[in-house]
Structure 1
Amino acid sequence: MAITAADVNKLRQQTGAGMMDCKNALVEANGDFEAAIDILRKKGQKVAAKRGENETKEGFVLAQVTGDNSTGIVFALNCETDFVAKNDGYKTLVESLMKVAIDNQPASAEDLLALKYDDKLTVAEKITEQIGVIGEKLEVTGYGILKGGAVVAYNHPGNQLATLVAVNNGTTEAIEAGRQVAMQVAAMNPIALNKDGVDARTIEREIEVGKELAIQEGKPADMAEKIAQGRLAKFFKENTLLSQEFIRDNKLTVEQFLDSTVKGLTVSDFKRTSLS
């Protein structure tokens, strides 16, 4: 049967594939749209298999919250080249995946991939389809979901880094303070909310390093433990969010900034996702 330009354009609108790819798929499928979509998907699977070992160091990171600010999601869709990552169509693809995530609030990247993207494809199948369209390996990485009294999202310019912060107060003033702290998380990359959130292995390593440094500096062995504990306290101050100096006023810690903004305001959790 004759394949019209309108047919090709219709398939292109449905899949995002190139004009020639759509035309060839329709010709091969003898005008059957469902079969043509399957042909394009199989092309994506072939491209995916071929590029399976390729590195995906570029991409687009996005954080977004639900309309009631109760839940936030952050994830990255990685690709191979900066050229693809900066394409408007790629941004649109990420935003469409985020809509599925926000609507369904999956607990993990694996759960997101299993969700229905539309009436015909799962999210995983949609990504496979787009691998065929784009010609690069694509993968969802760094997925995180956060719930709280109010969740704030921050997307760093360039979309290579995004954060979520959950605060215990949903007022406008509290949410704005949360946005400032979300920027702090982006800039300072804390390892935990406070010292209680630092894992025992990290603490043991910092103490051992502190002892060794003290001994190398000529301090008596019986003082090394005390010196190491002092260095550990400094480590907590520099690397846990609530104890860090607030980047917009280093006379305050983040904890003090929050409490001075709204009495009792604090952060219950945070997420940070980046390409590097």
Structure 2
Amino acid sequence: MMESIKKLREMTGAGMMDVKKALGDAGGDEDKAVALLRERGIVKAAKKADREAKEGLIVFRISPDKKKGALIEVNSETDFVARNSDFQQLVANFADALLASGAADLEAFKQSALEGETVESALAAAAGRIGENLVLNRAVYVETDGVIGGYVHNNGKIGVLVDLMGGSEELAKDIALHIAAERPRYLKREEVNADDIEKEREILTNKALNEGKPQNIVDKIVGGQISKFYEENVLLEQKFVKDNTQTISALLTAQGGAQANLKRFVRFEVGA
């Protein structure tokens, strides 16, 4: 059996699980197994695997109790396919499967069951039907004691999940919308790499000196620019997109006198 699997993998470029299933369905007949792989679009998909897939779709799912969330990105070669109903249904099915499976990482999710086959096999078969290279790029499952909020923006090109403690579902959604629009790189200042800040400070200092700024005010100029870096890149320090008179940090402390705690966020953007 293992020799046949190895032979068919080399012959077709298909994955081990796909070949094993095809051989089983074909009763061990290698020719029939190859025919099944071709019928399922897996051989055809393998030949497309080296073509770039930079378009695609992001979908999220949240459980009815708001305690579990799934965010997934599947890429296609063209935006035309990303708007194809077959492709969109595939991604929606994947998001449902991820929420149900609670897979710990992308590789585990690829081997998850989906309507009698693996997610990986379903993707390969869809690539064969659609005629483009399709890539399951990212998949994240989140579970919380608080509340999960989600948002998808720009026709499925940007998606966000938020894990919020001590806040409402509406607040979680608002913060997810903000993250989609404002692209924070970090949740809080402590997450910013100290070496990166020092490199940024050195670059800004040299730039100011090269521009002829007096040495005695360079530190003040650079300090202001570093503060601006934090304000632009750290979520808690950003101005709330729906009310720029308060930061996200201030928004979290204004919940009926209770302090809401934003534990984490995940942001996907197609092509980024």
TM range (shorter): 0.7 to 0.9
Q: How does 1:143-222 map to 2 (within 5 A)?
A: 143-148=139-144, 149-169=146-166, 174-221=168-215
5+ long unaligned stretches in structure 2: 1-25, 27-31
How far residue 42 of structure 1 moved from its aligned partner, in angstroms, is 5.9
The match for 1:60 among 57, 62, 65 is 57
Structure 2 length normalisation: TM-score?
A: 0.81
In the other structure, the counterpart of 1:116 is 113
Is 1:69–2:66 an aligned residue pair? yes
2: distance between equivalents of 1:45 and 1:37?
Answer: 10
1: distance between equivalents of 2:63 and 2:38?
Answer: 31
- SS at structure 1 position matched to 2:151: strand
Percent identity of equivalent pairs: 31
Judge which range, 108-117 or 62-71, deviates more: 62-71
Letter in 2 for 1:74: L
In the other structure, the counterpart of 2:227 is 233
In the other structure, the counterpart of 2:104 is 107
- SS at structure 1 position matched to 2:169: helix
Please tell me whether the aligned partners of residues 69 and 161 of structure 2 are also in contact (alpha carbons under 8 angstroms). yes
Please tell me whether the aligned partners of residues 142 and 274 of structure 1 are also in contact (alpha carbons under 8 angstroms). no
Please tell me whether the aligned partners of residues 97 and 123 of structure 1 are also in contact (alpha carbons under 8 angstroms). yes
How far residue 67 of structure 1 moved from its aligned partner, in angstroms, is 2.4
How far residue 110 of structure 1 moved from its aligned partner, in angstroms, is 1.1
In the other structure, the counterpart of 1:128 is 124
Please tell me whether the aligned partners of residues 98 and 141 of structure 2 are also in contact (alpha carbons under 8 angstroms). no
- SS at structure 2 position matched to 1:140: strand
The match for 2:136 among 137, 140, 147 is 140
How far residue 36 of structure 1 moved from its aligned partner, in angstroms, is 8.9
- SS at structure 2 position matched to 1:84: helix
In the other structure, the counterpart of 2:88 is 91
- After superposition, the CA RMSD in angstroms is 2.2
In the other structure, the counterpart of 2:77 is 80
How far residue 225 of structure 1 moved from its aligned partner, in angstroms, is 4.1
How far residue 222 of structure 1 moved from its aligned partner, in angstroms, is 5.9
2: distance between equivalents of 1:108 and 1:51?
Answer: 25
Is 1:266–2:267 an aligned residue pair? no
2: distance between equivalents of 1:197 and 1:147?
Answer: 21
How far residue 274 of structure 1 moved from its aligned partner, in angstroms, is 1.1
